[in-house]
């Protein structure tokens, strides 16, 4: 039995040697540097307001301010707070109303405290020659952390004083399209 035992020993040692010396030219520490950086584009809000939308039903006068709000739950989600590196918000306005507007896009917390404000002035357009305005807002640290406390978006349209107010017969519309580009680091 001596010979077989010897053979066995040799084989075991050989296999241990083979296995311990068989990984070379590799650096598994690189795993620490793995960083997926996906970029997602998502639709945000949109709306299309015809001229008469800016007229008070009761008084038939032009309104001063028009506002609407939606929750955007995901901004404050753990995933966004932890993984979002930066974001770019793009708002595209098409105005075919002969009237200029001051736009506020206000990101607020549940308690309606402002966390981020995007302001855009939209000049007056013509019914047959609409004016297009595109504005982008890049939000990076340190602003980003504040932005991520927001849970709601308020779209506020202010109509500055004008000699040519909108009435029930005004033609045209104010259209908003928007998207967000999210840069993640996972």
Partner 1 sequence: MRLKITYIALLLSVLAIGQNKELLYDFNDLPQTLNQNPGALVSFDKHFGIPLLSQFHLNVGSSGISAYDIFKDDGVNINTKIRNAIFFLSKRDYFTLNQQLEVINGGWRKNETTYFSYGIYEEADIIAYFPKDLAILLWDGNADYIGQSFSLGDVSFKGEVLSVFHFGINKQVSKKLTIGARAKLYSSIANVNSTNNSGTFTTRPSTTGDNVYEHVFQFLDGKAQTSGIASLLADDNSDIKEDIKTLRKRVFLGGNLGLGVDVGFTYQPKEQHVITGSLLDLGAVFHTKDVETYHLNGSYTTEGVELVFPPLINAEGTTPYWQNLEDEFDENIKIDTLKGNYVTWRSTKFNASYRYNFGKENGEDCDCYAGKKPYQNAVGLQLFSIFRPRQPQFAATAFYYRRLFDFLRLKLTYTVDDFSYHNIGLGASFHIGSFNMYFMGNNLSELQNISRAQSVSLQFGINLIFDSDE
Binding site for partner 1 (CB under 8 A): 1, 3-4, 7-8, 11-12, 15, 18-19, 22-28, 30-31, 33-49, 53, 56-57, 63, 66-73, 90, 92, 154-155, 176-179, 181-182, 184
Q: How far is the CB of 48 from partner 1 (least distance, A)?
A: 7
Distance of closest approach, residue 157 Cβ to partner 1, in angstroms = 9
Nearest approach, Cβ of residue 100 and partner 1 (Å)? 18
Q: What is the DSSP string of 78-144?
A: HHHHHHEEEEEEEEEEEE-SSS-EEEEEEEE-TT--EEEEEEEEE---BTTB-EEEEEEEEE-TTHH
Of 47 and 100, CB closest to partner 1: 47
State which residue, 43 or 163, has the beta carbon closest to partner 1: 43
Structure tokens at 101: 């507007």
Which CB, 58 or 163, lies closer to partner 1? 58
- Specify which residues 68 forms β-bridges with: 155
Q: Any residues with CB less than 8 A from the CB of 64 and at least 6 apart, and which? A: 158, 159
Distance CA 126, CA 142 (A): 40
Structure tokens at 62: 């032009």
The nearest distance, CB 169 to partner 1, in angstroms, is 18
Identity of the residue, 23 or 163, whose beta carbon is nearer to partner 1 in the bound complex: 23
């Amino acid at each position: 039995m001596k010979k077989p035992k010897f053979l066995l020993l040799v084989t075991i040692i050989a296999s241990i040697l083979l296995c311990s010396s068989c990984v070379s030219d590799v650096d598994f520490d690189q795993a620490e540097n793995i960083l997926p950086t996906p970029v997602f584009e998502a639709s945000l809000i949109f709306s299309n307001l015809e001229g008469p939308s800016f007229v008070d039903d009761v008084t038939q006068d032009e309104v001063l301010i028009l506002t609407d709000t939606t929750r955007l739950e995901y901004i404050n989600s753990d995933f966004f707070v932890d993984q979002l590196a930066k974001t770019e918000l793009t708002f595209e306005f098409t105005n075919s109303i002969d009237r200029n507007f001051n736009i506020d896009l206000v990101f607020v917390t549940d308690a309606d405290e402002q966390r981020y404000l995007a302001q855009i002035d939209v000049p007056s357009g013509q019914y047959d020659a609409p004016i297009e305005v595109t504005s982008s807002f890049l939000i990076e640290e340190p602003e980003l952390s504040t932005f991520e406390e927001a849970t709601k978006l308020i779209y506020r349209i202010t109509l500055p004083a004008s000699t040519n107010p909108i009435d029930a017969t005004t033609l045209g519309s104010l259209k908003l399209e928007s998207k967000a580009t999210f840069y993640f680091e996972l």
